[in-house]
Chains A and B, each alone.
Chain A
């Protein structure tokens, strides 16, 4: 199901109330001209899966946090911001999930520059 970013949190809330109480995964795909963030939810009792796809413009990469609905979103959101450079709004800023690097040039984007040496970030 494709939805707008503005509707994401309300849609997730509504789905959680309707039995989709399990977050399977949050991931993203970089289609070069835009980035798509994908939220996979599951209704455990009915055994139904549903995906919410949010299209993001390359120069406007942010999504609201869904931590309020699913605590399990924590590490997925941090992974998203680190690997795709997508800013997660509405949650406390945490250190990067993987270890020490500056977080620039997100590796899973298609314009990733290979072979750049990263400076380790001081703690």
Chain B
């Protein structure tokens, strides 16, 4: 049969940002997907070379506007490593709590948009957005901003958590636990959802390793790697973190991994509050024009972001990064799209794309 070539995007409601796909079809089956990226490229890696160390966190947050705090923290952490600054213990717990809250918010947004991509289900989108907003309110309490927080400072946080933060958070977590169970109950009984998720977009564990995918996509294919477990940072070692993975590598497995991660994050937050030292402060260094001199020329560190592993590689200069290389999780997960989509139906392309949980700002940098 003749091959039909169709163009999707750059502006399309289901591409979650500006992404262009050129799809070659044989009837209804996908033969090849050509991915065009770069519409949101802002040259962040070059830009940070021209800014002082603590001028850049705001740029980092704009990379992944769904989970800004995670990028902020990863960047500040690599600067701390280069400058040889220790993070206060209480601040470590606070950072873990905020990062896990951010993960819940990010996964909830994913859940809503994923169901939208499958059609007919604006209900879940409305629910998860409402719930996500409760988490955003907590982050706002802690940082003062609703969306872009910029409250991670060298050695700690911008300020102490508010006095009633713990009580408020635990209350929201109780609610969130009930809601997650509800999501599972409603969604997994929905025949439309299940038909389009189970057995669609399968990625074997061998291919997952070979293509280098990361985060929930990697774990859904049965490869157990989570930076929080395999290369723990902060206090994750003290918390009883259990990694979530699935075997089949289809859309449904990726959904399951994320749902289980929400539950695990809720548990981690509770445990972290329980173990957080009552005394001590968490205030970091205020932003000054001059920062301390770097002690490490080359620093490298990994963080488990909601979308997968982010690796920051920094060559330090006095006052400014000489070079910052960011391994963005969405970038490499999107690179795997053409492999996963091959041989699938065109209608499933957006189900697969949605299940990879991409943020185009993070892809293009």
Majority secondary structure of chain B interface residues (helix, strand, loop or mixed): mixed
Taking residues whose C-beta sits less than 8 angstroms from the other chain, chain B's interface range is: 20 to 34
* Given A97-B38, A99-B36, A108 and B46 contact (CB-CB distance below 8 Å): yes
Q: Report how far A38 CA is from B311 CA in the complex, Å.
A: 13
Docked-complex contact A72 and B210, CB < 8 angstroms: yes
Question: How many contacts A-B (CB < 8 Å)?
Answer: 66
Docked-complex contact B231 and A99, CB < 8 angstroms: no
Docked-complex contact A24 and B212, CB < 8 angstroms: yes
B235 interface hit (Cβ, 8 Å): no
Residues from chain A with a CB closer than 8 A to the CB of B45 are 108
Q: Report how far A105 CA is from B332 CA in the complex, Å.
A: 25
* Given A25-B313, A29-B323, A99 and B39 contact (CB-CB distance below 8 Å): yes
Q: Report how far A21 CA is from B300 CA in the complex, Å.
A: 20
Q: Report how far A23 CA is from B323 CA in the complex, Å.
A: 21
Residues from chain A with a CB closer than 8 A to the CB of B300 are 51
Apart from A29-B323, A51-B300, A107-B46, list 5 A-B contacts with CB within 8 A.
Answer: A23-B212, A27-B327, A29-B315, A99-B37, A99-B41
Residues of B within 8 A of A (CB): 36-39, 41, 43, 45-46, 209-213, 223, 225, 230-231, 300, 309, 311, 313, 315, 322-323, 325, 327, 331-332, 335-336, 339, 364
Supply 29 A–B pairs (Cβ within 8 Å), ascending by A: A21-B209, A22-B225, A23-B212, A24-B212, A24-B309, A24-B327, A25-B311, A25-B327, A27-B327, A29-B322, A29-B325, A40-B313, A44-B225, A47-B230, A47-B231, A70-B210, A72-B213, A72-B332, A72-B335, A72-B336, A74-B335, A75-B335, A97-B38, A98-B37, A99-B37, A99-B39, A108-B46, A108-B323, A112-B46
